[in-house]
Amino acid sequence: MDLGLNNKIVLVTGSSRGIGLAIARGFLEEGSKVILTSRDKIELDKIKDDLSKTFPSENIFARACDFTLKEEISVLKDWIIETVGELDILVANVGSGKSVSDPIPSYENFERVFRLNFDSVVDTVRGFYPLIKESRGCILFIASIAGIEAFGAPTDYSVAKTGVIAFSKNLARKIALEGVRVNCIVPGNIYFKGGTWEKQMEAEPERIKELIKKTVPMNRFGRPEEIADAALFLCSESASFITGVCLIIDGGQTSTLY
């Protein structure tokens, strides 16, 4: 299937590893021009060099950016306008579930987690929406099943991801007539090198295996590439009548809760 993504200009936030990197790689495979982002410039340059061994280097751009800082988002926007001139697709993937187990986290912790997982997303869309509107492109959010159910994930993280899902749906409805599509992917337990689940498997392999067996009907972790495949479809011409969708990809985990 031709997804119609050739030469599309794509910004993937948080694309140095895991789901973000898999999505970036997927777009490159489709012939898109991809802007990689991370807070770590050294790491980002290494990833760009590695990807350049497989894909045309002229299709790969990299720029360090901390999306919790509005001024850095503004600088990135100016750089994109100057370097590539336009933007067709925005994938908002920045986020982290690292927090505390307190039922009601402290104000400071709640603010920090919300800043990373929700405020940064809103600021990113606010910054890049004019470019997406001009190209009549699309926006894709990466949230989490912690945003639709209570699994014991940190409270502040769960609430922030709930906010991302609500934001995506409201945005989709309100800008549809402007020709911009907005969708959201809600991943379950995704295993990748350097990720949280890898660390937990190394520390308590039997407990984690039993947890997955009890909670995930497919009895396995998801792979970043499985999220990327869905992301590419939702951002493609093949999904031209799809907007406002919250696509759950979790091996059936949440299906057992209703």
* Catalytic sites, residue numbers: 157
Q: ∠ at Cα 249 (209, 237), nearest 5°?
A: 150
Chain position carrying tokens 């940190």: 154
**Buried (b) or exposed (e) across 9-47, using 16+ Cβ within 10 A?**
bbbbbbbbbbbbbbbbbbbbebebbbbbbbbeeeebeeb
Element (DSSP H or E) covering residue 223: none
58 burial (CB, 10 Å; 0-12 / 13-18 / 19+) is exposed
Q: In what order do the strands lie in the sheet with 89-92?
A: 60-64, 33-38, 9-12, 89-92, 138-142, 181-187, 246-249
